[in-house]
Amino acid sequence: MSNVTMKVNGKPVSGEVEGRTLLSSFLREGLEMTGTHIGCDTSQCGACVVHVNGQAVKSCTMFALEAEGAEVTTIEGMANPDGSLSVLQQAFQDHHGLQCGFCTPGMVMSAAALLQDNPKPTEAEVRDYLEGNLCRCTGYHNIVKAIMAASGQDVAVAAE
Amino acid sequence: MPKDGGIGASSKRREDVRFLTGQGNYTDDINIHGQAHAVFVRSQVAHGTLNGVDTADAAAMPGVLRVFTGADFEGVGSIPCGWQVTDRFGEVMQEPGHPVLAQGKVRHVGDPIAVVVAETYEQARDAAEAVVPDITDLPAVVDMKAALAEGAPKVHDDLTSNLCYDWGFVEDNRDAVDAAIRGAHHVTTLELVNQRLVANPMEPRVAIGDYAPGTGDSTLYTTSQNPHVIRLLMGAFVLGIPEHKLRVVAPDVGGGFGTKIFHYAEEAFCTFAAKALKRAVKWTSTRSEAFMSDAHGRDHVTKIELALDEQGQFLALRTDTHANMGAYLSTFAPSVPTWLHGTLMAGNYKTPLIYVNVKAVFTNTVPVDAYRGAGRPEATFQLERVIDKAAREMGIDPVDLRRRNFITEFPYATPVAVEYDTGDYNATLDKLLEIADVAGFSAREAESKARGKLRGLGLNCYIEACGIAPSNLVGQLGARAGLYESATVRVNATGGLVVMTGSHSHGQGHETSFPQVISEMIGIPEDMIEIVHGDTANAPMGMGTYGSRSLAVGGSAMVRATEKIIAKAKKIAAHLMEAAEGDIELKDGQFSVAGTDKSVAWGDVTLAAYVPHNYPLEDIEPGLEETAFYDPANFTYPSGAYACEVEVDPDTGKVTIERFAAADDFGNVVNPMIVDGQVHGGLAQGIGQALLEGCSYDSDGQLISGSYMDYAMPRADDVPFYSVDHSCQTPCTHNPLGVKGCGEAGAIGSPPAVVNAVVDALQRAGHSDITHIDMPLTPARVWSAMNG
């Protein structure tokens, strides 16, 4: 077992982990932050996406020890400081961009990274960027719509 | 003007806030103090004799509490099947045992053999690798027809063959259908495969068993669509725990799509092991495990024949299907290819004579059961494909051929034992032609052609039977359960109320839509109403959520209970206002006396019910809580018409969905936003089946598509924005809300539209010999069809 220290959502945290412990497991089991979800074991589904030093990362593809000293942001850290939903989260609710909610943390984290890099993505760019995030409920329609809306683009014509 | 609340409003989902902030409470998020962790050892071969299991090394490894094998479960019941089909000779189906852990034989890749329970997950996983099953391989049966051949290896040695049943429906029509087909002007024949799919809810299954030695109470936390059903099946048939000593909790559940209806070995194991070890035992499926242990869907091989007269009137329909059951009978498996499939073969059409033959077959594969649509997609696919083929063969426009045969008068009794209460198939088809802009297809085709692409247009209709189902009817058909639903409405002293429903929401948004109904009935704000579900300690009984039944059956139970609440509240209001009970009206949360200006508020009445100082105690009890059980009088029959436009790349065979339109008749709609979302999701699953998905076994029964590396799930760039409409509404005539259900329509209606579109594109390009391609329409299959 080794000690690992990092900042998660701005707070310093540390814990004892095995070398093989994945960042996703450390967040869920070690820190009891269960907002980050695990939907597969081949790094395909994207439910576990978090930000590590500002980059969107599937947290099942990293060992916890690799995040030593990193700044990690999870879904629990995405709301506004007063606890209200951020623009992106609010867009997901307004446009019914989630149903069962299981893929949602990864979707929001991926979408946030996309909008950081590309504040006005086209529909095709949104769909392309979400290739690493599976959703089985929404058929992606309202997820794409929500992300476009969060970027300030009106998609009413395209989507209806 | 959109409504801002109540029935018909697109109220935003209250559950979203917790899901968007990482505050959901899924089963794997639950950790019980002192819990141990279970890891399953599963068969890596499809068929073999299990001579023994060497657990000695594993048991000695760090942290291991105990290694369980089949021997530990010898006195435990078999995992039960909930539906007994009677075959066409009057014999009941062959029903094999289904042990929690393998006894003497393994019958599919993934069949559980042993379980290691250890202090930590990692310790259990490490020790599981040290468990050594001693298996002598046996030849496996994978292909259904081969499984029925003389001398084929038997999946279950104690059965006479691999045939579960040979079902005929309607058996009395058999000869008449044969004669009609023999004498018909034209017969169109189509052989097709409705391929095996994996449901793949994004949340893998999880089970946590807990046991309280002091009281002897067991609790199971599980990813289920119907916790009461699990309590009944597991308690009564497997573990022998009476329902009052067993609580089953299904908290936030991350999608179901059918595969979380069924009772699974892992649930029984964790409940059993918790009692044996006197501590909680948790199992979380990996995705790889899910592929080999979640019940699969579809897997039908079918030949369908449609007889028509010179004018294109349908005369008779005959369909012959082999349906794969897998190695064991999952909870509702026998009902899917029979009563959920054969009864839908009339579709939207006046075909007077129909005969359906289904042979259900055991093979050395994962059990197959209901997956979104369950039997109805299989019926719709073959019917709408054969109609398209017939139209082409007879030179009739496919839209026109459908219209010529539409059922137009309701109620309509089909020759396959169901009675459609309402529908307007021309209206949804007209709406579809409008929203799909079928008139503009030629211009789009020319534009595609200019880019070297082949464009095709496919349309189809569908009907489904939802809101399952009248208990007395399903009882006659072999169901070992009733299919009612219950609700308890508990009004608190200060006027807020809680609905404890047997329906379960795992994405459907009941926490938002159910309060809309009560808000409309009483006239109080939606946020005064809370929905509690997913816990056998709350709702009195629950048959759960599947078959698009929640609002039609569970919602109706809630309406009936609320009607009782209102009736009692009116009595109290009459007393408070010293008026006759019959003169009391309720509107906008105010009780008033008709023709006067006297009124009392909802909250005054609810407070009086719990502080009964001025109260008719001689006539009615204090308190305000009512329960109702609702048993539907019939199925509901949503219907609609779908259109797909594809582009095919002639060089690669790659199919791109360019446009998809869906016009549905769901009857009345409570929350249009949620209904749209249900359709979107169904469409993606149907498009996934048509183009991408397929569960694959090799001839030895090895699972080839065992992860997302191999099983192609639809992704955001595989699908377009959909155009959906549910403005054509013929309300259901027999439930209080007039609702029909919308959860499965998209998955039922979309596969034939996609395949019809691809065939159309290839036909337009001169490939007149291509009349069908089996799903999934991968580039390789489409290219091969084009290039011989």
Q: Are B247 and B212 in contact (CB under 8 A)?
A: no
Mean pLDDT value of segment B147-154? 98
Q: What percent of chain B has pLDDT over 90?
A: 99
Mean pLDDT value of segment B468-477? 94
Q: Within 13 Å, how many C-alpha atoms sit on residue B447's CB side?
A: 7
**CA angle (B751, B754, B756) in 5-degree steps:** 105
Q: What burial class does residue A94 get, using C-beta atoms within 10 Å of its C-beta: 0-12 exposed, 13-18 middle, 19+ buried?
A: middle
Pick the residue of B202, B283, B658 with the most A CBs within 10 A to test the interface with A by mutation: B202
Residue A160 has pLDDT above 50, yes or no: no
Given CB atoms, is A7 within the 8 Å cutoff of chain B? no
Mean pLDDT value of segment B490-510? 97
Dist CA B152 CA B164 (whole Å): 14
Residue B278 φ/ψ region, left for φ over 0, alpha for ψ in the -120 to 50 degree band, beta for the rest? left
CB-nearest to A101 from B24, B682, B719 is B24
Determine whether the interchain pair B719/A141 forms a contact, defined as Cβ–Cβ distance below 8 Å.
yes
Mean pLDDT value of segment B492-503? 97
Dist CA B405 CA B488 (whole Å): 45
Q: What architecture does CATH give domain A2-77? A: Roll (3.10)
Given CB atoms, is B656 within the 8 Å cutoff of chain A? no
* pLDDT value of residue B385: 98
Chain A residue numbers touching B204 (CB-CB < 8 A): 38-39
Looking at the DSSP assignment, which residues form a beta bridge with residue B166?
B359
* pLDDT value of residue B788: 82
pLDDT digits (tens, 9 = 90+) for B733-759: 999 999 999 999 999 999 999 999 999
Q: How far is A88 from chain B (nearest CA, A)?
A: 10
Q: Could you say which DSSP state residue B237 is in?
A: I
pLDDT digits (tens, 9 = 90+) for B196-252: 999 999 999 999 999 999 999 999 999 999 999 999 999 999 999 999 999 999 999
Residue A155 has pLDDT above 80, yes or no: no
Confidence of residue B2 (pLDDT cuts 50, 70, 90): low
Residues in Cβ contact with B382 at an 8 Å cutoff, skipping those fewer than 6 apart: B190, B192, B194, B302, B304, B319
Asked if domains A2-77 and A87-153 share a fold, the reply is no
Q: Are B646 and B713 in contact (CB under 8 A)?
A: no
Determine whether the interchain pair A158/B16 forms a contact, defined as Cβ–Cβ distance below 8 Å.
no
Confidence of residue A156 (pLDDT cuts 50, 70, 90): low
Classified as helix, coil or strand, A140 is coil
Nearest Cα to Cα of residue B635 among B742, B730, B735, B561: B735
pLDDT digits (tens, 9 = 90+) for A5-63: 999 999 999 999 999 999 999 999 999 999 999 999 999 999 999 999 999 999 999 99
Show the tokens assigned to B524: 């109080």
Determine whether the interchain pair B708/A104 forms a contact, defined as Cβ–Cβ distance below 8 Å.
no
Fold of B484-630: Aldehyde Oxidoreductase; domain 4 (3.30.365)
Classified as helix, coil or strand, B242 is coil
Confidence of residue A154 (pLDDT cuts 50, 70, 90): confident
Residues in Cβ contact with A122 at an 8 Å cutoff, skipping those fewer than 6 apart: none
Q: What percent of chain B has pLDDT over 70?
A: 100
Show the tokens assigned to B507: 């994405």
Q: How far is A159 from chain B (nearest CA, A)?
A: 6
Mean pLDDT value of segment A77-94? 97
List the domain boundaries for chain B: 18-138+205-284, 297-469+634-786, 484-630
Determine whether the interchain pair A99/B28 forms a contact, defined as Cβ–Cβ distance below 8 Å.
no
Chain B residue numbers touching A158 (CB-CB < 8 A): 721
pLDDT digits (tens, 9 = 90+) for B574-592: 999 999 999 999 999 999 9
Nearest Cα to Cα of residue B549 among B639, B463, B464: B464
Chain B residue numbers touching A76 (CB-CB < 8 A): 21-23
Count other Cβ atoms within 10 Å, centred on residue B357. 18
Confidence of residue B4 (pLDDT cuts 50, 70, 90): confident
Dist CA B439 CA B568 (whole Å): 57
Determine whether the interchain pair B680/A75 forms a contact, defined as Cβ–Cβ distance below 8 Å.
no
Show the tokens assigned to B19: 């899901």
Place of tokens 């990482």: B22
- Strand B281-284 relative to strand B36-42: parallel, antiparallel, unpaired? parallel
Confidence of residue A157 (pLDDT cuts 50, 70, 90): very low
CB-nearest to B681 from A40, A89, A138 is A138
Dist CA B95 CA B164 (whole Å): 7
Mean pLDDT taken over chain B? 97
Q: How far is B34 from chain A (nearest CA, A)?
A: 14
Quickly list DSSP for B698-755. Answer: -TT--BS--STTTS----GGGS---EEE-------SSSTT-B---SSHHHHHHHHHHH
Q: What burial class does residue B602 get, using C-beta atoms within 10 Å of its C-beta: 0-12 exposed, 13-18 middle, 19+ buried?
A: buried
Residue A158 has pLDDT above 60, yes or no: no
pLDDT digits (tens, 9 = 90+) for B252-286: 999 999 999 999 999 999 999 999 999 999 999 99
Asked if domains B297-469+634-786 and B484-630 share a fold, the reply is yes
CB-nearest to B674 from A33, A39, A96 is A96
Show the tokens assigned to B193: 């495969």
Dist CA B744 CA B552 (whole Å): 14
Terminal CA-to-CA distance of chain A, rounded, Å?
Answer: 54
List the domain boundaries for chain A: 2-77, 87-153
| Sheet order of strands, B132-137 included | B105-106, B48-54, B132-137
Chain B residue numbers touching A101 (CB-CB < 8 A): 15-16, 18-20, 24, 252, 254, 507
- Give me the residues of B, 245-264, that contact A with CB < 8 A: 252-255, 257
* pLDDT value of residue B421: 98
Tell me which of 3.40.1110.10, 3.30.365.10, 3.40.190.10, 3.30.470.20 is the CATH number of domain B297-469+634-786. 3.30.365.10
What are the phi and psi torsion angles at B214 (to 5°)? Answer: -65, -35
Q: What architecture does CATH give domain B18-138+205-284? A: Alpha-Beta Complex (3.90)
Looking at the DSSP assignment, which residues form a beta bridge with residue A139?
none
Classified as helix, coil or strand, A130 is helix
Nearest Cα to Cα of residue B356 among B384, B375, B330: B375
Given CB atoms, is A33 within the 8 Å cutoff of chain B? yes
Fold of A87-153: DNA polymerase; domain 1 (1.10.150)
Residue B489 has pLDDT above 70, yes or no: yes
* pLDDT value of residue B1: 53
Nearest Cα to Cα of residue B295 among B187, B190, B372, B217: B372
Mean pLDDT value of segment B638-644? 98
Three-state SS sequence of B517-532: HHHHHHCCCHHHEEEE
Mean pLDDT value of segment B317-321? 98
| Sheet order of strands, B584-587 included | B584-587, B590-593, B599-601
Q: Are B548 and B466 in contact (CB under 8 A)?
A: yes
Q: Are A105 and A38 in contact (CB under 8 A)?
A: no
Q: Could you say which DSSP state residue B152 is in?
A: P
Classified as helix, coil or strand, B594 is coil
Distances from the Cα of B253 to the Cαs of A34, B28, B231, B296, B555, in angstroms? 14, 10, 17, 19, 20
Classified as helix, coil or strand, B82 is coil
Dist CA B562 CA B517 (whole Å): 10
pLDDT digits (tens, 9 = 90+) for B753-785: 999 999 999 999 999 999 999 999 999 999 999
